[in-house]
Amino acid sequence: MCGINGIFSNHPESDKREILKRMNDRLAHRGPDDAGIFVQNQIGLGHRRLSIIDTSKAGHQPMVSENGRYTITYNGEIYNFKNLRNELADYNFITNCDTEVILAAFKIWGENCLSRFNGMFAFAIWDNVTNSLFIARDRLGIKPFYYYYENGMFVFSSEIRSLLASDCVPKKLSHSCLPEYLQYQTIHSPNTIIENIRMLEAGSYMTLASGELEIHKYWEPINYVDSSKFSATYDDCKLEVRNKLYESVERRMVADVPFGAFLSGGIDSSIVVALMSKISQNKVKTFSINFEYEEFSEAQYSREISKLYGTEHNEITISADDIIQNIGHAISQIDHPTGDAINNFIISEKTKNAGITMALSGLGGDELFAGYDYFRQNLILHKYSAITSIPTFLRSMMGNTLCKIKPSIQTAKIRNLLKLEKWELENTYPVSREVYFQEELSELFRELGPNQNIVHEIIKSISVNKKWDNTNLLISKISVSEISTYLQNILLRDTDQMSMASALEVRVPFLDHELVEYVLSIPDEFKYPHSPKKLLVDATADLIPPGIVNRPKMGFLFPWSIWMKNDLKSFCENSLNELKLLNIFHESALDSLWNRFLNNDPMVNWARIWMLIVLQKWIQENDIVV
C-alpha cells in the first residue's frame, strides 16, 4: 500500500524532479517506509512506500522491468500474485513482491493482465519504447487515482492534495459540482471538487500515447446480474458463498507485517473476525470504538465476538474531550470533502498506534447482501408501482399532507417519491440516498446551475446495458446502484483517505470480485426472502450467535449531534461564519439551518450541518480559490 505520483510534460528533467519531490512529500503519510523518483525524457514517476509484502529494499519503486523497457509506480495489493508468478516462470524475477508480478504480467499479457488480478490497485506503467503510459484502477475502486490533463501536460496522484502541491494544477473550486456534494455528501467520479481534476473510474484503464488520452472500461458489475444460468439450490448457494468468503479472507491475511481487524460487533465484521480466527494459528487482534454515551456504544457486541473467538481485543474509548482536542487535525487529513470520515480516521490512527500496519474490515457486506433499509424500500416501491397511475397532483397532495402531519427527512423523501412519474429504480434510488433536496439547494446557494441529479444519471447510464432490462434481479440491481455510487464514492474513498492518513492499509474481503460476481447472479428470493442479509446469515450460521444477528442495526456513527450542540458548538459556529465570507451560500440560509439544528428541527440533522463545516475547513486548509 502506497502513494503514487507522475507527470508527463515538456518540463526539464530537473523541474520534474522538483515537482515529484513536492508531490511525494505531500504523500509521506501514505508511505513512510521509502520514497523514489524516476525521470526519463518526458515522463516522471514518484512513489511513497508502505511495506506490506516483501519489506526488503528490493521492493523499491518506481520499479523497472528486467529488460529495462517498463517502469511502474503502484499502489495496492495483488492477492493472487504468487499464483501469477508461477504462470510467469519465464520472467527473471528479482524480488518477492507483487509489484514485479504486475510488470511481468503486463509484459506478457498487456492490458489483459487486468482480468487476471485479484486485488485492489492503482498503477501507472511507462513504456520507453512506444513512449506511452498505461494506467489502471481495480474493479471496485478500492484504490484511488486522480489526474489533471491540460495543454499536453498530464499529472496524476493517489490524492488531490498531492496534485495541488505540484503547483501545476490550479486550485479552483468546482462550483458546478458543489451542489452534488451537499445533495449526496460527495462528488461522484470522474468529477471532483476541483475544476479539471478528474478521477479514473473503477474498473477502468487509460492510455496516454502521442498526446491522445483514451479511457476504457474492463469490468462492470451489471454484467454479472444474470441468473439465466443459475441452477444451484439454496443449500448449494449458501455453501458457495461461505467458501468464496473464506477464500477471500484467507487471501487478505497474507502480509509480512502485524495485522488485525475492525470489530464493531455487527454481522459483517463479526463474520470476518470469525473466519480470520479459523484461518490464523495466532490470536487475531481486534479493534473497536466505544463512547461515553451508551446508546452509541456497541461494546457489548464486540466483546461477545471477541470472547467467542479469543481475540486480542482493543477497545478505543472516545470522549467529547478527545474530539475537541483532535478535530482540527482529523479534518486536516481529509483529501476530498466528505460528510462522514472522521470516524474512520480515529479508529485507523488508534489501530496504527497499537502497532498494526494492516487491518481487515467488514465494509461491503451491506451493499452486497441487502443490509440497508434502502433495499426494502425500493422493493416495496417496485411491488406497489401501480400507485403511480394515480394522478400526480393527488399524490403530491398526499405527500405534502404527510409532511405537515409528521415533518422529518424521511417523510420528505416519501413526498418526493410520490411526485415521481414512474417508480423505476433509476428514479427511486436517487431519492433514497439524498441528504439535501433540490428545493433546499435552491434556497441555500447564491447561484445554482441547471438541475441535474448525478446519481440518477449514473444509474440511467448503467441501465443502457442490455443486462439491466433482461433480468428480474431487482436486489442485484440495487446492489449495483449502491456499488456504483455510495460504496465507491463515499465509503471506499473515506476508508482509503482516512486510513492511509495514518499509514494503515485496510483490506475488504466482501469486495473480492469473485464473491461480488457470484452474489450478483443469485436470485432475489435467496437474498431477501423476508429479512436483510438472510443469505449471508444462513451461510455463516455457525459462526455468529443469534444475539449478533438479531441486534439493532446501528452503523458506525459517533454521537455528533450531542457534541455539535455542546462541546463543539463554538467550533461549528466559527466555521459557519467563515463559510459565509466565501459568498457561496446565502448567509440567512446558513443561519437558519444552524438555528433549526440547535432547536431540534427534524428536517436538519447533524450530517447536513457537518458537511458544510468540513467544506469550509477543507477550502481553508488547502488554500482553494473560490
Residues 102, 113 contacting (CB under 8 angstroms): yes
Residue closest to 133 by CA, chosen among 74, 91, 72, 189: 72
Residue 141, C-beta contacts closer than 8 angstroms, at least 6 positions apart: 189, 201, 202, 203, 488, 492
Active site residue 2: yes
Catalytic annotation, pick one of 2, 97, 113, 237? 2
Residue type, 265: G
Nearest to 584 by CA among 192, 182, 186, 195: 182
Residue 502 exposed, middle or buried by CB count within 10 Å (0-12, 13-18, 19+): buried
Torsion of CA 274, 277, 283, 285, to 10 degrees: -50
Pair 270, 304: CB distance under 8 Å: no
The CA distance from 270 to 480, in Å, is: 24
CA distance 77 to 585: 42
3-state secondary structure 266-291: CHHHHHHHHHHHHHCCCCCEEEEEEE
Is the backbone peptide bond immediately before 190 cis, with ω within 30 degrees of 0? yes
**In degrees, to the nearest 5, what angle opens at C-alpha 309 toward C-alphas 307 and 312?**
70
Backbone angles phi, psi at 334, to 5 degrees: -75, 125
Helices (H) and strands (E) in the chain, counts: 28, 17
Residue 592: partners with Cβ closer than 8 Å, 6 or more residues away: none
Q: Give the residue from 137, 150, 126, 144 showing the smallest Cα distance to 209.
A: 126
Catalytic positions are 2
